[in-house]
Structure 1
Amino acid sequence: MPFLCPGWSFASNHASDPDGRIIIIWRNSIQVTVIHQSAQSMTCLLALPNSRPVYYTAVYASNLSSERVDLLADLINLHSMLDLDGNPWILGGDFNQIISPMEHSSMDVNTTDNLMYQLRDCFLQLGVFDLRYLGPQHTWTKNRPEDPIAKKLDRLLVNSSMVASLPHALATYLPPLISDHTPCLIDLAYQLPQAGTKPFKLQNYLTKHPSFAQHVYDAWLRAGTLQNPSTTTFEAERDLHQRWLFLREIEESYFRQKSRINWLAEGDLNTT
């Protein structure tokens, strides 16, 4: 890593899992100390500039519910061992389980089962909850046009100490790239609106327009919300995504070639 990416470091859980399911990469401007690792999680202490140290646990839960029980027990033991109630804690990753029927796109899923209660009770014991976020509710999509399904399998959780220490923190779920999961970006110092900024105001008379509801509905559709997954919408999304990937590769190729031309023309000017 130092040779390929100077100024960057990494750690993984290869010692606990032969496949190394979790890899944490960071700039050397912060200090990262690995505290604990298992086959489904990895916990480290982050020393951030001008802030209290923060515990961070990355999760990649098993697809098997019988193995996820080990993860939940490990997190509860970790919570007690490190006294995480009194320290800022971020817990995030793929839990491979929803906690409410609302987190499933299928209307057939309308009751809370034992696995949902199990994960929900674990979060309650840990004292963690979802950090406020922007982006879609569903973070995973089954890429089968004939059987479209979306769920909220990925979460970014925090405890009360984390919110008290970094009250402006905000999570953003970004559009998926090559994965069927949505990546999550956390901003620890999200800028709130400055004083004097005019808030958005909806004039009540606009709601009287006969086309108001239709315009709002169309706007939500254009924004990319998928309220009613179907074969047609998934095929359209897949085609648009493939087109975007194609255009992105063209752009990347163009700038890579341009950078090489600039290097040949200017070199490094012998400044090192």
Structure 2
Amino acid sequence: MIILSWNIRGLNDPCKVVSLKKLLAEQCVDVVGIMETKVKCDKSVKLQKKFGSSWSWFCNYSSSHRGRLWVGWFHDKVNLSVISSHEQFIHVQINSKDLHHQIFCTFVHGLHSIHDRLPLWDELMVMLSLDYEVNHFRSFVDNLDLGELKSKGSFYSWSNKGHGDTRIATRIDRGLVNQAWLSKFPHVESIYLPPLLSYHNPLLVEVSRFATTKGRPFRFLNCLADHADFCSIMEKSLHSVTGCSVMVTIWQNLKSVKKNLKDLNTKYFANVDEKVDVALAYLKAIQDQLAVDYSNSDLHVKEAEAVSMVKHWMNIQESIYKQKSRVDWIKLGDSSSHYFFSVMKHRQGRNRIDSIFTKDDVLLKDPILIENEIVGFYKGLLGSSDSSLPAVDLATIRRGSQLSSSSIDILTSMVTTSEIDSALAHIGDA
């Protein structure tokens, strides 16, 4: 499912109609939100027919005589239901015909003044059944726990198309999603396409199934060090290989440490969310029994054990989320697991490479093509192999800056145990 949003700044121009039709076809768009069409109501149907019979349309002329917002959908691929229509937004539910995707989407085009935009935030909050008083956009974003989608393409989304020093550009068009949306579609990104004849860049969002990737690199979790078997595993792993050179021995032993710690993590700490749910379900079952048999001493003991187990897994869950989110300024035990989880998912989404532009501005989405492009780029940086290398000109080197004798002694001296201990002591928990 591919969604496009574009402030087209007037759709009466036939050239803009042609540009929009071409863009919808090239990008295989399923749903499009068009802002600021400036098309009168009596001319809207005639203009919409130019996009073909496969497109259905909804416009907010009932709320604004200027038709500030149009929403179109390719009804052969998706079903769209309008939930709410307002002068400044249209809120819809989109279902793909293959039933793989069902999402809610709000196309927003605010009025120009802060005072005129106040009803926008109030209406959105009422629509989402929240009773907070919203005074400005930042409060609205914070209250709904919204975040911006990872983006590609042009950084600026609007310009006045001026020349020289009179040209002004800014980023005023954004794709915002809540944490539930981000958790379900962590790989989705918004692509800022060229503005063509408009002042605004179109935003393209492709909602698709999560593409499987290769395994993640090993990462040491702090909770591993608290396990009872941690010390014995480390002792065994660090002495698993002997009789080789020092460097080979260290390398092989570290590989053994990595393998054994991964096994420990998989066995005891994988699917920690499920372990928390199971512990909570067990505690609830015990407390349901206590509601019937309140004086049962055996149930009292089981309840205490269940509470301890819930706290144990919640602390581990929070520790893992905190470490993965890299948030250092909130202490563990502050019941911030939801915040850590949100930050972690946001980081994971931004760190993923689901698409990439080549040097010829071709967008690649296939994982194999992306891998080949990245490998090729770094091969180009490193250069090609050669059968012979020119000798270093010692005279030229000696005429340049050189290290002093004392600096050479410092760099070539042996690393002491105290220096290693000091370096390890200054490593944080994050």
Q: 1:77-156 counterparts in 2 under 5 A?
A: 77-80=126-129, 118-145=136-163, 146-156=165-175
Looking at structure 1, the residues matched to 370 and 92 of structure 2 have their Cα atoms a distance apart, in angstroms, of 40
TM-score (norm: length of structure 1): 0.56
Closer, same or farther: CA 178–80 of 1 in aligned 2, 3 Å: same
Q: 1:20-31 counterparts in 2 under 5 A?
A: 20-29=67-76, 30-31=78-79
Preserved CA contact (<8 Å) 1:52 1:165: no
Looking at structure 2, the residues matched to 6 and 42 of structure 1 have their Cα atoms a distance apart, in angstroms, of 22
Q: Give 1:50 deviation, angstroms.
A: 3.1
Looking at structure 2, the residues matched to 138 and 43 of structure 1 have their Cα atoms a distance apart, in angstroms, of 26
- Match of residue 230 from structure 2: none
Looking at structure 1, the residues matched to 380 and 147 of structure 2 have their Cα atoms a distance apart, in angstroms, of 35
Is 2:122 the counterpart of 1:73? yes
- Match of residue 37 from structure 1: 85
Closer, same or farther: CA 205–27 of 1 in aligned 2, 3 Å: closer
Structure ranking higher on relative contact order (CA contacts 8 Å, 6+ apart): 1
- Match of residue 233 from structure 2: none
- Structure number with higher helix proportion: 2
Preserved CA contact (<8 Å) 1:139 1:154: yes
Q: Deviations over 1:114-155 (max 9, x none)?
A: xxx932221111221111111122101122325221111101
- Match of residue 206 from structure 2: 187
Q: 1:1-272 counterparts in 2 under 5 A?
A: 4=50, 5-29=52-76, 30-48=78-96, 49-80=98-129, 118-145=136-163, 146-189=165-208, 191=365, 193-194=367-368, 197-198=371-372, 200=374, 202=378
Looking at structure 2, the residues matched to 59 and 135 of structure 1 have their Cα atoms a distance apart, in angstroms, of 21
SS in 2 for 1:164: helix
Residue 180 of structure 1 aligns with an amino acid whose one-letter code is: Y
Residue 120 of structure 1 aligns with an amino acid whose one-letter code is: R
SS in 1 for 2:129: helix
Looking at structure 1, the residues matched to 381 and 197 of structure 2 have their Cα atoms a distance apart, in angstroms, of 44
* Identity, % of aligned positions: 24
Q: Deviations over 1:206-253 (max 9, x none)?
A: 6xxxxxxxxxxxxxxxxxxxxxxxxxxxxxxxxxxxxxxxxxxxxxxx
Residue 37 of structure 1 aligns with an amino acid whose one-letter code is: S
Looking at structure 2, the residues matched to 175 and 24 of structure 1 have their Cα atoms a distance apart, in angstroms, of 21
Closer, same or farther: CA 16–196 of 1 in aligned 2, 3 Å: closer
Residue 21 of structure 1 aligns with an amino acid whose one-letter code is: R
Which is higher, the Rg of structure 1 or of structure 2?
2
Residue 118 of structure 1 aligns with an amino acid whose one-letter code is: H
Preserved CA contact (<8 Å) 1:128 1:157: yes
SS in 2 for 1:121: helix
Query: Runs of 5+ in structure 1 lacking a partner?
Result: 82-116, 207-272
SS in 1 for 2:128: helix
- State how many pairs are aligned: 172
Residue 105 of structure 2 aligns with an amino acid whose one-letter code is: Y
SS in 2 for 1:61: coil
Looking at structure 2, the residues matched to 188 and 164 of structure 1 have their Cα atoms a distance apart, in angstroms, of 13
Q: Deviations over 1:177-234 (max 9, x none)?
A: 111111111111264624993472547986xxxxxxxxxxxxxxxxxxxxxxxxxxxx
Q: Deviations over 1:89-131 (max 9, x none)?
A: xxxxxxxxxxxxxxxxxxxxxxxxxxxx932221111221111
Looking at structure 2, the residues matched to 168 and 75 of structure 1 have their Cα atoms a distance apart, in angstroms, of 26
Preserved CA contact (<8 Å) 1:11 1:23: yes
SS in 1 for 2:68: coil
Looking at structure 1, the residues matched to 197 and 380 of structure 2 have their Cα atoms a distance apart, in angstroms, of 43
- Structure number with higher strand proportion: 1
Residue 71 of structure 2 aligns with an amino acid whose one-letter code is: I
Preserved CA contact (<8 Å) 1:76 1:125: no
